[in-house]
Amino acid sequence: MQDDTLPLPVQSDLLQAASRNGIRHGFFTREGGVSTGIYRGLNVGLGSQDDREAVLENRRRVAQWFGFPVERLATIHQIHSPNVVIIDKTYDGARPQADAMVTATPGIILGVLSADCGPILFADSQAGVVGAAHAGWKGAVHGVLENTIDSMIALGARRENITAALGPSIAQENYEVGPERVQDLKTLDAAYERYLAPSQNNGHAHFDLKQLTMDRLTKAGVQAENLHLCTYPDDKRFFSFRRTTHLSEPDYGRQISAIAILET
């Protein structure tokens, strides 16, 4: 029976199939937490200015949903990089600078935080290997998704058996970028222009980070699902950095997307 004090995350149909082999995942919303004010709900961002005890309690609830103590919840210091770390039984609570994690160790929860960027969860249920990645535009174009897949393969996963799901993140219609970002993308790869739609603001464009992410996952040879959840308009369920900026709020919360191999 579900504990009423625990959050109820959104789940991917594609990844849910892995639950038969002892893998559990959840794209958590802001529902089910204890934070108040602009952080209302399940804010798990240690880097936010929220009350630290509230953040720690929210993280404890996430871990409890998996059936583990909060000490088993592994998160990283995300820096919009392509860097991936391997988490194993020696995990000591450190938060290395990286934007993805992989593990083949049961009993450890991999959690990535987001507030518009794309959280992607990965699983090879046959090999018993999972991964979690945080992909903003910079991490996505510089290879964090592909590096996560390669790191899973190094732990015994097979590319053709890996499934992935893209959780709550900002949709193209709400993601307007300025001329400098447009130029950055075109300089990296002229083909990125197909992810840019015209804006009413001269020189600006609406960037489709979701589709870029899905295309890179597919090109990398894994089966992927987009949950089609946009963080920007849904302030009841999701934190959004861009919405906070537009509202001139002083800070913002972060939701978590997490996956674990259950202990037998």
**Mean pLDDT, to the nearest integer, of 58-78?**
97
Please report, to the nearest 10 degrees, the dihedral formed by the alpha carbons of residues 108, 72, 148, 48 taken in order: 160
Amino acid at 169: S
For the cut 70, the answer to whether the pLDDT of residue 132 exceeds it is yes
Three-state DSSP state, 115: coil
Cα–Cα distance measured from residue 150 to residue 92, given in angstroms and rounded to the nearest whole number: 24
Instruction: Give the residue from 175, 205, 178 showing the smallest Cα distance to 193.
Output: 205
- Bridge-based pairing state of the strands 109-114 and 163-166: unpaired
Give residue 2's pLDDT.
44
Cα–Cα distance measured from residue 141 to residue 188, given in angstroms and rounded to the nearest whole number: 8
What CATH number should be reported for the domain whose range is 13-169+223-261?
A: 3.60.140.10
Q: How confident is the model at residue 4 (pLDDT cuts 50, 70, 90)?
A: low
Q: pTM surpassing 0.95? A: yes
For the cut 80, the answer to whether the pLDDT of residue 48 exceeds it is yes
Give residue 113's pLDDT.
98
Query: Which residues, at least 6 apart from 109, have a Cβ–Cβ distance to it below 8 Å?
Result: 62, 63, 66, 68, 72, 73, 74, 258, 259, 260
pLDDT in tens, 187-242: 999 999 999 999 999 999 999 999 999 999 999 999 999 999 999 999 999 999 99
* Residue count of the chain: 264
Q: How do the domains of the chain map onto residue ranges?
A: 13-169+223-261
153's enclosing H/E stretch is: helix 144-154
